[in-house]
Amino acid sequence: MNALVFSGIVFAVSALAGFLGSLTGLGGGVVVTPVLTLALGVDMHYAMGATLVSVIATSSGAAAAYVREGYSNIRVGMFLEVATTIGAVAGAFLMAAVPVQALAVTFGAVLLYSAWLALKEPKRSEAREADPLAARLKLNSSYPGPDGAVTYLVTRVKTGFGLMFGAGMLSGLLGIGSGAMKVIAMDQVMLIPFKVSTTTSNFMIGVTAAASAGIYLGKGYITPGLAMPVMLGVLAGSLAGARHLMGAKTRALRRIFAAVIAVLAMEMIYNGVAGGLK
């Protein structure tokens, strides 16, 4: 396979990943990394480096559209980014010391758990009383609904903040935006509506990825020849996905989210255990 064909395949795969990542808040990284390593034989560390660059592109592409439409909760995103950024830097430093097989199994286990959680719709009745901290930080907000603005209250802010540190560490360790964990934490723990969780995740993942991308670059794991088609493909896909999210049904989004990451999780775990990765 010559360089032009390889770049074309990487671009096409990345565009699909960006589309799915934009719809579900995953950021595309959970699709790009497994495909590059499992299907195209790219070293996992270099795949993760290229994916981090693409995550920044996804956030830049989709987040602007979501903010403009009024879906993203900027205050929640900026507050939680403090935890994810610290975690991302810590995870990036750990990355070089962890064997590839262990990274793959960890990656798969996190995704499998996230897929299971995504199918469980939390009981919104629990959110009738807002967290006092959320009120002080002005985190409660609203988003556009079919019949006008839909208001919501943010709960368990401290728990969500703690989970975001773990999400950031996974981002640095696995070379992803950890969008799955961000969406789960906001949707299941903080009881933020799913569409707001996915759009706010898209807003956050770029900052999280940027925090650890510098460390990957310093270690030589980001190569322009691989990162460029991945970034361009994901950016194109994420912009297309942003246009489709507004009219998408929440239940359908949950099923797409769960199905995509469950399949990739099983592939990563199998190859990690079988030693099929390098």
Please tell me which of 27-36, 95-104, 143-152, 259-268 the model is most confident about, judged by mean pLDDT: 143-152
Q: Report the 10 Å Cβ neighbour count for 49.
A: 28
Is residue 87 pLDDT above 90, yes or no? no
Is residue 276 pLDDT above 60, yes or no? no
More confident residue, 227 or 35: 227
How many whole angstroms separate alpha carbon 76 and alpha carbon 197? 10
Lowest average pLDDT, out of 48-57, 71-80, 267-276, goes to: 267-276
Task: Tell me how long the chain is.
Answer: 278
Is residue 161 pLDDT above 90, yes or no? yes
Per the structure, the count of domains in the chain is 1
DSSP per residue, 76-132 = HHHHHHHHHHHHHHHHHHHHTTS-HHHHHHHHHHHHHHHHHHHTS---GGGGSS--H
Q: Kindly state the average pLDDT of the residues 170-177.
A: 68
- On the 0-12 / 13-18 / 19+ scale of CB atoms within 10 A, 2 is exposed
Label residue 4 by pLDDT band (50, 70, 90). Answer: confident
